[in-house]
Amino acid sequence: MIVQGNIVDILNRRTFKGEVVVENGKIKEIRKANHHKENYILPGFVDAHIHIESSMLVPSEFAKIAVVHGTVATVSDPHEIANVLGVKGVEFMIENGKKVPLKFNFGAPSCVPATSFESAGAIVDAKDIKLMMENPDIKYLAEMMNYPGVLFDDKEVLAKIKHAKNNKKPIDGHAPGLRGDDLIKYISAGISTDHECFTYEEALEKLQKGMKVIIREGSAAKNFEALIDLLPEHFENMMFCSDDKHPDDLLLGHINQLCERAVAKGIDVFKVLQAACINPITHYNLEVGLLQKGDDADFIVVENLTNFKVLETYINGELVAKNGESFVESVDFEILNNFHTDQKKVLDFEFISSSEKIRVIEALDGELVTNQLEMASLLVDGNLVSNTKNDVLKMTVVNRYKNEKPAIAFIKNFGLKKGAIASSVGHDSHNIIAVGVSDAAICKAVNLIIENSGGVCAVNTSEEKIVSLPIAGIMSDLSAEEIGKSYAALDKMAKQMGSTLRAPYMSLSFMALLVIPSLKLSDKGLFDGTSFKFTSLEIM
């Protein structure tokens, strides 16, 4: 097979008219050739950090869409399913991913559960990590979110890191806002990357101290604009990732969109493509081609180097997508889940109090970090209730693994004027999380999730919609097109009910993520992520 076009030689920073000769899945030769093709041939895009589960798709269905956008490989942390099903969940992701051409590179989840302050469905301990690190299908130790454990020399945390080092596999970081001496200790433990930087200054310090910084632009967390100006000088040590990508967004684009935006800012195209195509492969030692002689034939054909419209995608020499059509086929897979809680009553969501002030989570659109506010409470017959006038809404996290009393908090900036939204996608333990204007609405939404053994939903007095997620309560058994359409309708309904957030369900899913400051809610109570301990809802 011969593919002609303008060859983009990223490593040598040049383009030339030529052709790629492919034989038995490998690049036999790249040579100059005269032809009239105006398109460009370059290595495929690699998402340097993504949780496939957040697309609500199993890997094989994710692949069907990703290849259309020129993605040939991912660096994938399966800690979402691991928090529900443990090592069995990781094995499910690996085996499902092997059934399709896209090159999934899974890591061993380092923090399951993420903290001891929440209830997860499983535990992945140092012994499990040792076995996974010895598995050639596991490429790295996934994000070390327990940075306090690193800083305070937690034996279990250090044992997990040691197993990665013994197997010469990279260790991913996750340390939002970590600076100074604490950052130095974190890096010295062997942690090499961070995708959680949310300011230019933080990312610059991490780069200067030797970390690789991954620019994240997902459905909820969007740090591209804050960090992209670092790329021209630090392109050798930066990558692109989506981290969490909801299905409707994935249908629109992937890493190709970040390349388009970066080039539009006037950044040298070779520097942009090094971050998008080369650096993840070299950093994680991936078996993915770099468009060099002898490499696996993993490359893409794009219309131009400005909008990166993908015309063709090849993986191991196989044409897997052309002109927006995917040739990746659906595969059969087992349905796994872990859902063991009973339906709730409206009274379960009451919070009897006499406090005039409460701590309120302030959600920030496009950010995983939150602020902590102190605001006046609204009491009805002694029960703390939502105040839609001030956009301070009641929120709950309900343990999905056993029957426990729901945890209650209040949150600002969701904007709902009626009804409630709920989800069993609640990072990282994936308990049920809901926000609503009344206890009755919240109860109705939570029970709809329980009834379906997982999903995302919206309810009000006249309507209810749910996208069922039967696989671990976080993924669908449907195609990307089906789940994307259903999810888009659900997103529209939430916004019609008043939500002003760009991605209300993605934002909701992170409001139980305790390892991201400042104030979050676990199934065990309100949590101060700055002091790393529980705090009270009431201010007495």
Would you state the pLDDT for residue 183?
98
Domains of the chain: 44-290 (3.20.20.140), 346-539 (no CATH)
Would you state the pLDDT for residue 539?
96
The rounded distance, in Å, linking the Cα atoms of 485 and 389 is: 32
Residues in CB range of 429: below 8 A, 6 or more apart? 83, 113, 114, 118, 119, 120, 121, 512, 522, 523
Could you tell me the CA-to-CA distances from 178 to 196, 397, 495, 534 in Å, in that order?
10, 27, 34, 21
Would you state the pLDDT for residue 148?
87
- List the one residue out of 52, 99, 138, 50 whose CA is nearest residue 471: 52
φ, ψ at 185 (rounded to 5°): -65, -40
Would you state the pLDDT for residue 115?
86
What strand order describes the sheet that includes 238-241? 193-194, 212-216, 238-241
Would you state the pLDDT for residue 221?
83
The rounded distance, in Å, linking the Cα atoms of 125 and 140 is: 16
Strands 325-326 and 318-322: antiparallel
Would you state the pLDDT for residue 220?
77
Would you state the pLDDT for residue 367?
86
Would you state the pLDDT for residue 248?
86
pTM of the model: 0.93
- List the one residue out of 199, 255, 208 whose CA is nearest residue 227: 199
**How confident is the chain (540 residues) per 10-residue block, as mean pLDDT?**
98 97 98 96 98 96 97 98 98 98 98 93 97 98 93 96 98 95 98 96 98 93 95 98 92 97 98 98 98 98 98 98 97 95 98 97 92 97 98 98 98 98 95 98 98 98 96 95 92 97 92 92 96 95
The rounded distance, in Å, linking the Cα atoms of 197 and 348 is: 38
